[in-house]
Amino acid sequence: MANEEAIKKEISQRFGMAEESIRVARERRVFCEVGYDAFRGFLEHVCKKMGFAILCTITGQDEGETLSFMYHTARSDGTMLNIKTSVLKSDPRIKTVTDLYPVAISYERELVDLLGAAVEGLPPGKRYPLPDGWPEGQYPLRKDWKPDQLGDMAFPIKGA
């Protein structure tokens, strides 16, 4: 697993992260976590200098007090570096990464719609994936959201 260990070494040395906080799950899978202030610099480095130029997707999660975003980046040799960062749920502002990864635009729109993140710098466009009449302030992927919060927009369940 020399490849993954080399990645681990480079990240921990360059960004002063403890080597134990970087997890090599198996071959070709490295997971790490970065605070949001250092995130942009970190992402630029892995994208431009370490070859992780493919963004597979962004997974947003509701972790109670914070919203976490995992950026799944990959390299042409098949290795994936999954970078997790978090912001407070009360102020979920993050900057767009579409200048580094143009394909991120759909993934960021998903974060806005489903989790209520506020992504700064997104170009104007239609929302995705929720429908047009969706009420404001309702974020389905948050843990505390239940479909009956839609009030009279909630569908009757057929056959139940």
Partner 1 sequence: MNLFQKIIRWARIKSPWIIHFNTGACNACDIEIVASITPRFDLERFGIQLKGTPRHADVLICSGPVTRQIKDRLVRIYEQMPEPKFVIAVGTCACSGGVFHDCYNVMGGIDGAIPVDLYIPGCPARPEAIIDGVVKLLGTL
Partner 2 sequence: MPNITIPIGPQHPALKEPESFIITLDGERIVDADMRLGYNHRGIEKACESRNYIQSLYLLERVCGICSHTHSTCFIQAVEELAGLEVPPRALAIRTVFAELERIHSHLLWLGVAAHEVGFDTLLMYSWRDRELVMELLASLSGNRVNYGMNKPGGVRRDLTKEQLQEIAKTASALEERTKYYIQVASAETTLIERLSGVGTVSHEDAVRLGATGPTGRASNVDQDTRRDDPYAWYHALDFKVVTDTHNDVYGRTLVRLGELMETYKMLRQLASEMPEGPIFVRAPRRIPAGEAVSRYEAPRGEDIHYVRSNGSDKPERVKVRAPTLANLQAVAKMLEDNNLADAPIVIAAIDPCFSCTDRSILIKDAAGDSSKTVSWGDLRRYSIDWYKKKGLDFSGLRI
Question: Applying CB under 8 A, does 95 fall inside the site for partner 2?
Answer: no
Question: Applying CB under 8 A, does 126 fall inside the site for partner 1?
Answer: no
Question: Applying CB under 8 A, does 120 fall inside the site for partner 1?
Answer: no
Stretch binding partner 1 (CB under 8 A), from 5-13, 14-22, 99-107, 124-132? 124-132
Encoded tokens for 122: 């997104």
Q: Closest CB to partner 1 among 77 and 144?
A: 144
Query: Which of 2, 65, 125, 148 touches partner 2 (CB under 8 A)?
Result: 125
> Can you state the percent helix, strand and coil of the chain, rounding each to 5?
30, 25, 45
Cβ atoms within 10 Å, residue 130: 16
Under 8 Å CB-to-CB from 1, ≥6 apart: which residues? 24, 27
72: nearest Cα among 39, 11, 29: 29
Does residue 128 contact residue 155 with C-beta atoms inside 8 Å?
A: no
Question: Applying CB under 8 A, does 133 fall inside the site for partner 1?
Answer: yes
In angstroms, the CA 35 to CA 56 distance is: 21
Minimum CB–partner distance for residue 129 and partner 2 (Å): 4
- Where does this chain bind partner 1 (CB under 8 A)? 130-134, 140, 147, 150, 155-160
- Where does this chain bind partner 2 (CB under 8 A)? 25-26, 28-29, 31, 53-57, 59, 61, 70, 72, 74, 76-78, 80, 82, 101-103, 105-107, 114, 125-131, 140-141
